[in-house]
């Protein structure tokens, strides 16, 4: 039996409403996966969809992006969905960049906006 796929969910503050709506609209598909999320994003996803299997890590600015990067490096993440806010400067921008770099290094499918996330979800749950 193949293991359940692991999807990492992250959203910057201006994108958290979008992430909550995305989770609700795709709840059935997400329910087939194990989800890891940065702290606040995971809280919002659980509020929207209390039945999902969500492991909440640290908040992004406190190391959550790096924790997800570490999970990518150890082969535990199959898909990264990261709703990025391109219009707001972030104190932890270097962490965000490092996470994206690892997703590229390990060739993990990475959706940085909602349109791509919708397309990639099918892949994650095949
Ligand atoms: O800042 C983030 C990603 O860089 C997201 O972290 P939170 O989900 O804790 O807000």
Q: Of all protein residues, whose CA lies closest to atom 4 belonging to ligand 1?
A: 60
Distance, in Å, from the CA atom of 31 to the CA atom of 124, rounded to the nearest integer, reads 11
Q: How many domains does the chain have?
A: 1
* Residue 126, pLDDT above cutoff 70: no
Tokens describing residue 87 = 């219009």
Q: Assign 122 a pLDDT band (cuts: 50, 70, 90).
A: confident
DSSP assigned state of 71: H
Q: What is the CATH number of the domain that holds 79?
A: 3.40.50.1380
Please tell me the predicted confidence (pLDDT) of residue 1. Answer: 54
Tell me the pLDDT tens digit for each residue of 43-92: 999 999 999 999 999 999 999 999 999 999 999 999 999 999 999 999 99
How much is the ipTM here? 0.98
Please tell me the predicted confidence (pLDDT) of residue 26. Answer: 96
In a domain, 1, yes or no: no
The b-or-e profile of 17-54 (16+ CB within 10 A means b, else e) is: ebbbebbeebeeebeebbbbbbbbbbbbbbebbeebeb
In a domain, 79, yes or no: yes
Contacts of 105 (CB under 8 A, 6+ apart): none
Atom number, ligand 1, closest to the C-alpha of residue 99: 4
Task: Indicate if 126 belongs to the active site.
Answer: no
């Amino acid at each position: 039996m193949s293991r359940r796929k692991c999807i990492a969910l992250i959203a910057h503050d201006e994108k958290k409403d979008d992430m909550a709506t995305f989770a609700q609209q795709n709840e059935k598909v997400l329910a087939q996966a194990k989800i890891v999320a940065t702290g606040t994003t995971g809280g919002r996803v659980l509020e929207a969809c209390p039945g999902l299997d969500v492991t909440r890590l640290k908040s992004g600015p406190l190391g959550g992006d790096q924790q997800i990067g570490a999970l990518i490096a150890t082969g535990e993440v199959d898909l990264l969905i990261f709703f990025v806010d391109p219009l707001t400067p972030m104190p932890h921008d270097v962490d965000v960049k490092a996470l994206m770099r690892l997703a590229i290094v390990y060739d993990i499918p990475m959706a940085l906006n909602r349109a791509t996330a919708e397309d990639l979800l099918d892949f994650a749950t095949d």
